Structure formats: C-alpha cells, structure tokens
C-alpha cells in the first residue's frame, strides 16, 4: 500500500520548500503541466483519474473543472476550501501543517488548467498558526518563482492569497464561503446559478477542498491510470481518514478507498480503548448517519457506505464504546447544528432548534414517547428543500441515531433519567 | 483607534481583493488582536476605512463567532465540547477549569485575566480533549496539563 499524500509528513522541516524540492518530485508536476500539457489535457487527465472531491460531497473534480468557461476575457477564481469545520474532521490541517507545498502545487496546476490567475485559500479563522505556515509557504513559492508573474518562463501568472474566516461552520458551504470572501455574512446562495457561472463577485469560480487539490500533482506526475489503480472503481485513489473518539491510536491515516472500517479501527487505530466493546461509529463526520458494531465490515467507499445507509462524508471516523450514551450524542450534535444554522430557511432554523430542545428533554428524563415520532417528523421536513445542505446534515445524524438506537431513547423516557450514570458527559 | 502598524496591515490586505469590503474579516482580526475586542468605535473606524456603513460592519461582526463584542479577559480560554472531545472528557475539563478559575462558562475573572467559553469543534478531534487560549491550541488535556498551562500564563 503506497502512501503519497502523507509520505513526507515526517521528513524534518517538511513544510519548507527546501524539503519539498529535495524529495525529487517537488514542483515537477507544475513543470510538466505548464510545459508539456495543454489546459484541456490536464482537465482530461484529472477527469480520467476519477478524482472525487474530498470536502464531503464527492463530486468529480475534473468534471467540475470542465464547467469553467474558457477565454471569457474576464476574471475567474479558484477558492480552496480550508474551512474544515465538520465535527470529527482534522485532515486538511495536517496537509497545511506538514506539506503545504503539495497543496500549492495542486492549486497552480488547477489554476493553469482553468485559466485562473487568482486563488483564495479560505482557511477557518481558528487555524491561526496554520494560516501563518501557509503564508510562509506561499512566500517561499513566490521567492522561487512558482508563483507570481510569468512563472517558469511561461506567460502564465498566478497569485495565491490566504483569506481567514471568522468562525462559522456554514462558511464551509461553497456559496456561504464565497459570500464570506466578499465580506458579507456567510449565508449560502440559492443554486442555480452555480459557482462556475456566477461565483465570487459574480465571476466564474471553482471551489475544491484542500485534500482534493493535494492529489493533483501526483496524478500529473504518475498519470490517471496509476491513480485509478488505487481504491475501487468509483472511489479512486487514497484518502485521509481521521479517526477520533474511543480508539487507542487516534490520528489521520492515508489509506485506499475500499479498506474496511474494521481494519481502520482495529488495525490502524489500534482498537478500542481499554479493549472495551464497540457500540457505534460515525463514518464520515458529524453529518453522516451512525453505524452499529455489527456493521463495521463495511468497505469505506462512496457506494458501500451509501448501501449501508450512511455516507463517507469527509472520512472523519468517530468511534464510540459501550459507555457512550447515544442520547447525549444526539444532544451534542443537535446543539452544534442549532448553533451553526444561518437562519435563512424556516425548516432549518426552526427544525434545528426543536430537535435540540426535544433531545435535551429526553436526556434529562423529561421526554414523552411521542417525542420520538415528532423528532422523525421534524427531520424529514428538514430534508431536501432548503437553500443549502446544512439542514439535511442536521437531520441525518438524528435519523441515524433513532434508527439504530431507538431503544436507548425509549429507555430514557421509561426510566425518566439517563441510564448511563457514568456516561461520558456527567 | 488602530495603530499605524495595524492600519498598514489593513492597507496591505485590501490589495488582495478587487473590492475593499472583502478585507473586513482580516481587518476585524487585526483590530481584535490589537485591542482585544470589537467596540462601537472600532466598528465605526473600520466602516470608514472600508467605505461601508457601521451597521454593515456590525452585521458581519455578529455573524461570526470569533469576534468579541464585549471586552474579554487577557486570556480567552475556549474549550471544545463537540463530540470527539466530549467522548474524551471535555465536560470534565470545563468543570475543572471552572473550579480552578472560580468562574462559570461565559464569565470573566474580576482581574480581567481569564474568560472561559465553550466552543464547537476546532479541528483537533484526534488530540482531544482540547482548548484554545487566544490563538494557541492546547491538546490532549489532563488536569496536570491544565495546571501547568495556567501556571505559565502571566
Ligand atoms: C454546511 C456545509 C459545510 C461544509 N463545510 C465544508 C468544509 O469545511 N470544507 C470543505 O472542503 N467542504 C465543505 N462543504 C462542502 C462544500 O460545499 C463543497 O462541496 C466542497 O468544498 C467542494 O470541494 P470538493 O468537491 O473538492 O469536495 C460543506 C458543505 C456544507 C453543506
Ligand atoms: S439550510 Fe440552514 S444553513 Fe443552509 S441556507 Fe438554509 S438556513 Fe442557512
Ligand atoms: S470535537 Fe473537539 S476539536 Fe473536534
């Protein structure tokens, strides 16, 4: 199993351009792309590789790039999504801290392919030290003439700017992100129009996740066929799984799509703390539906997780052992969405508030059995008819918990208290 | 009033964008770093620099969680209480800090040294439980670790 994204994470000073160039292939893909390939060929190669977006939705990157208008004679932009706010997710941060030039190289290639001269990296405001590391790497790239005017002696020019957010999950949503770059509240826009037609300041814009761009130099260097040979047919390449919660070795693991959840938890992350019993796993960040201990043979790829009734999301795996109170989990998650809704859509604004209120009531032992159907009713009303997907993202975890752990909710109601006296949140 | 240095950083930031207004989040970060919070006067000053109305600045300030509309302590301690941190005892961390500092969540000590808050996931889930103090992250927290950190803050 070959690692390529994280291969150089442990090299001394891995965040410097010196270390990046020393490894042999650093900035070689940019040379190849700019000097030997046309923009169309690059987009074709990325399409052929099957690379899918790593920010949560899994949209094919090459296809997205092909939507950008050619020679429109007006500005075009790339926004790199480094907002990383989906609870459980901490992988993009690793790339920025430990191999930022890999990201910068991917951005240059993407910009050249789409005819973009200005790139904004939207990094969550709390990542202050990461923003500094990134800025330093960008400065180094300018000094070495990989950024700026007429790079590598071609007529292609590119600027990359770091844009810090101000603390708001919704700014990770691509249209909320663009509003935020413009200096507004991060309230998502209705789609269509899509960003490739009407993006920041109304100009064509492509938004991709940090990890998505970080795969690109490897695809250019080694070819689409190499990339397609890793993973499964429809989920190609390696990806970064961030494992947290009750495991012995939490962390980020680079593995091919298609690896089993069981292998990730028990081999890579070392198994459950104190060798406790596993109870539930959230497979792809807080917005994805929980799986039970009996479901962990599932393969970690887009299709397999869909069949299991969940989704791979951001690859953020949150592991919970038998001491975990699932109603408490519901409280924590619904609190999050209630706090983060931007409030534009009634279903989302009201639904997130009601869900949190009802689950908190149940956790306190004050719930009624009817509450469970009310919760499901609210959740289904929140799905599918709002401006952005935050509303769905808030409904799914609640639906997942009630599907697999309904008895635990009922027990709280029957006993009129939380049965987990030494639960993780007492 | 922003210092000369801060003004210069704001001018540099504005150059990154085709429209001045886009520099608002950076400007707020610069102002908060210098002054500690975003006062009514600061809002007016920023509106002046960016050619927008004070109410437009206020709207943005209140939408984002990182900007303080009230004065906070010299050290703003923010404990993540989202899921991965909760699973590994962030409630306990909050309780311990409350006891050590003698104050509740959302409050500031009388000497204006510490403010304690709870926040959502900060992207340190693999090194939970964690807290952020001003711009710095402190991860894999234990009681002993917290004691040490508090001791080191003058
Ligand atoms: C509420 C919400 C929050 C999101 N947060 C992020 C985020 O923090 N980082 C990210 O890359 N994508 C996030 N996304 C997905 C983006 O909207 C978008 O699909 C993604 O950045 C596209 O890049 P990709 O195709 O490379 O994944 C979020 C989506 C929603 C609905
Ligand atoms: S779904 Fe929720 S977060 Fe998204 S635009 Fe509507 S109210 Fe805002
Ligand atoms: S849950 Fe605490 S940092 Fe992510």
Q: Can you state the angle between helices A326-340 and A346-363, rounded to 10 degrees?
A: 150
Atom of ligand 1 nearest to the CA of A169: 3
Is there a contact between A243 and B65 if contact means CB atoms under 8 Å apart?
no
Distance from CA of B20 to the nearest CA of A (A): 9
Query: B4-63 adopts what CATH topology?
Result: Arc Repressor Mutant, subunit A (1.10.10)
Please determine, for residue A340, whether its predicted confidence score (pLDDT) is greater than 70.
yes
C-alpha separations of B60 from A23, A32, A179 in Å:
44, 43, 11
Please determine, for residue A30, whether its predicted confidence score (pLDDT) is greater than 90.
yes
Report yes or no: B106 and B119 within 8 Å, Cβ to Cβ: no
Separation CA A69–CA A52 (nearest Å): 21
Mean pLDDT of chain B: 96
Alpha-carbon dihedral A391, A394, A398, A400, rounded to 10 degrees: 90
Is there a contact between A124 and B137 if contact means CB atoms under 8 Å apart?
no
For A70, the enclosing helix (H) or strand (E) is: none
Using CA coordinates, name the residue in chain A closest to B81.
A332
Interface test with B, best of A76, A117, A126, A142 (most B CBs within 10 A): A126
The arithmetic mean of pLDDT across residues A304-314, rounded, is 97
Q: What was the pLDDT predicted at A71?
A: 80
Which residues 6+ apart lie within 8 Å of A155 measured at CB? Answer: none
Distance from CA of B109 to the nearest CA of A (A): 23
- Check CB contact of B70 with chain A, cutoff 8 Å: no
The arithmetic mean of pLDDT across residues A369-388, rounded, is 96
Percent of chain A predicted with pLDDT > 90: 97
What is the widest separation between alpha-carbon atoms in chain B? Answer: 50
Per the document, the length of chain B is: 154
Instruction: Kindly provide the ipTM of the predicted complex, given to two decimals.
Output: 0.98
Separation CA A291–CA A271 (nearest Å): 16
Superfamily for the B75-153 domain: Glutaredoxin (3.40.30.10)
Q: What was the pLDDT predicted at A118?
A: 98
What is the widest separation between alpha-carbon atoms in chain A? Answer: 74
Q: How does pLDDT run across A213-269, given as a tens digit for each residue?
A: 999 999 999 999 999 999 999 999 999 999 999 999 999 999 999 999 999 999 999
Strands B131-133 and B136-138: antiparallel
Which residue do the tokens 């080694």 mark?
A222
Q: What was the pLDDT predicted at A385?
A: 86
The residue among A405, A411, A368, A320 whose CA lies nearest residue A419 is A411
Residues of B in contact with A240 (CB under 8 A): none
At A423, is the pLDDT very low, low, confident or very high (cuts 50, 70, 90)? low
Query: Which residue of A166, A244, A282 is in closest CB contact with B25?
Result: A166
Cis check for the bond before B129: say yes or no (omega within 30 of 0). yes
- E strands in B40-135: 75-80, 114-119, 131-133
Q: What was the pLDDT predicted at A73?
A: 86
Instruction: Break chain B down into helix, strand, coil percent, rounded to 5.
Output: 50, 10, 35
Please determine, for residue A425, whether its predicted confidence score (pLDDT) is greater than 60.
no
**Token pair listed for A214:** 């970080």
At A426, is the pLDDT very low, low, confident or very high (cuts 50, 70, 90)? very low
Atom of ligand 2 nearest to the CA of A348: 2
Separation CA A405–CA A410 (nearest Å): 9
The arithmetic mean of pLDDT across residues A405-422, rounded, is 93
- Check CB contact of A309 with chain B, cutoff 8 Å: no
Query: Which residue of B60, B124, B127 is in closest CB contact with A184?
Result: B60
Q: What was the pLDDT predicted at B154?
A: 77
Using CA coordinates, name the residue in chain B closest to A132.
B135
Which residue do the tokens 């030039």 mark?
A101
A254-292: b (≥16 Cβ within 10 Å) or e: bbbbbbebbbbbbebbebbbeeeebbbbbbbbbbbbbbe
Cis check for the bond before A385: say yes or no (omega within 30 of 0). no
- Check CB contact of B46 with chain A, cutoff 8 Å: no
Is there a contact between B60 and A185 if contact means CB atoms under 8 Å apart?
yes
Distance from CA of A23 to the nearest CA of B (A): 28
A residues 328-387 lying closer than 8 A (beta carbon) to B = 328-329, 332-333, 336, 339-340
Which residues 6+ apart lie within 8 Å of A251 measured at CB? Answer: A242, A243, A269, B126
- Check CB contact of B21 with chain A, cutoff 8 Å: yes
Q: What was the pLDDT predicted at A327?
A: 97
Q: How does pLDDT run across A108-120, given as a tens digit for each residue?
A: 999 999 999 999 9
Sign of dihedral through CA atoms A405, A285, B123, A250? positive
Sheet holding A77-82, edge to edge: A159-164, A118-123, A77-82, A205-209
The arithmetic mean of pLDDT across residues A76-81, rounded, is 98
**Token pair listed for A99:** 């191999």
The arithmetic mean of pLDDT across residues A127-149, rounded, is 98
Domain boundaries, chain B: 4-63, 75-153
Please determine, for residue A81, whether its predicted confidence score (pLDDT) is greater than 80.
yes
Q: What was the pLDDT predicted at A112?
A: 98
Sign of dihedral through CA atoms A153, A155, A156, A160? positive
Residue nearest to atom 22 of ligand 1 (CA): A208
Distance from CA of A366 to the nearest CA of B (A): 22
Separation CA A365–CA A410 (nearest Å): 10
Separation CA A404–CA A15 (nearest Å): 43
């Amino acid at each position: 199993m070959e690692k390529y994204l994280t291969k150089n994470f442990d090299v001394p000073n891995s965040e410097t351009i010196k270390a990046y160039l020393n490894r042999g292939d650093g900035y070689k893909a940019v040379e190849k792309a700019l000097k030997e390939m046309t923009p169309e060929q690059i987009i074709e190669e990325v399409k052929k590789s099957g690379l899918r977006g790593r920010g949560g939705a899994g949209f094919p990157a090459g296809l997205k790039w092909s939507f950008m208008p050619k020679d429109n004679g007006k500005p075009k932009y790339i926004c790199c999504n480094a907002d990383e706010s989906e609870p459980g997710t901490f992988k993009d941060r690793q790339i920025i801290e430990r191999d930022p030039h890999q990201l910068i190289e991917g951005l240059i290639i993407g910009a050249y392919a789409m005819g973009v001269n200005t790139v904004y990296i939207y990094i969550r405001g709390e990542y202050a030290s990461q923003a500094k590391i990134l800025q330093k790497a960008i400065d180094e790239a300018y000094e070495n003439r990989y950024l700026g005017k007429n790079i590598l002696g071609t007529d292609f020019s590119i600027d990359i700017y770091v844009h810090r957010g101000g603390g708001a999950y919704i700014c990770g949503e691509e249209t909320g992100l663009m509003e935020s770059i413009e200096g507004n509240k991060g309230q998502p826009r209705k789609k269509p129009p899509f960003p490739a037609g009407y993006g920041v300041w109304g100009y064509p814009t492509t938004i991709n996740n940090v990890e998505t761009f970080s795969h690109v130099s490897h695809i250019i260097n080694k070819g689409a066929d190499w990339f397609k040979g890793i993973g499964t047919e429809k989920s190609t390449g390696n990806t970064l799984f961030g494992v947290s919660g009750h495991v012995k070795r939490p962390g980020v693991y680079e593995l091919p799509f298609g690896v089993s959840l069981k292998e990730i938890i028990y081999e890579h992350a070392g198994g459950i703390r104190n060798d406790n019993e596993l109870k539930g796993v959230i497979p792809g960040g807080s917005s994805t539906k929980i799986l039970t201990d009996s479901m962990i043979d599932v393969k970690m790829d887009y299709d397999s997780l869909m069949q299991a009734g969940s989704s791979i999301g951001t690859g953020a795996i949150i592991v919970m052992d038998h001491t975990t109170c699932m109603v408490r989990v519901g409280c924590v998650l619904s609190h999050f969405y209630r706090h983060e809704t931007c409030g534009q859509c009634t279903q989302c604004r009201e639904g997130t508030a009601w869900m949190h209120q009802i689950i908190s009531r149940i956790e306190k032992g004050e719930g009624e059995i009817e509450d469970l159907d009310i919760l499901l009713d609210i959740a289904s009303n929140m799905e599918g008819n709002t401006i952005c997907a935050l509303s769905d993202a808030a409904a799914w975890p609640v639906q997942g918990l009630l599907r697999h752990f309904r008895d635990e909710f009922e027990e709280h109601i029957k006993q009129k208290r939380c049965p987990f006296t030494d639960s993780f949140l007492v | 009033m922003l210092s000369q240095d801060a003004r210069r950083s704001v001018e540099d930031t504005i150059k990154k964008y085709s429209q001045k207004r886009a520099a608002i989040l950076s400007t707020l970060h610069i102002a908060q770093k210098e002054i500690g919070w975003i006062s009514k006067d600061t809002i007016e000053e920023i509106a002046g620099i960016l050619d927008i109305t004070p109410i437009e600045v206020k709207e943005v300030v209140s939408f984002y969680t990182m900007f303080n509309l009230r004065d906070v302590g010299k050290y703003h301690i923010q404990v993540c209480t989202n899921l991965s941190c909760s699973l590994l005892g962030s409630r306990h961390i909050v309780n311990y800090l409350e006891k050590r500092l003698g104050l509740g969540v959302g409050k500031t000590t009388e000497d204006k040294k510490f403010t304690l808050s709870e926040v959502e996931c900060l992207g340190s889930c693999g090194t939970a439980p964690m807290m952020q103090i001003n711009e710095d992250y402190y991860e894999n927290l234990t009681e002993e670790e917290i004691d040490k950190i508090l001791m080191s803050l003058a």
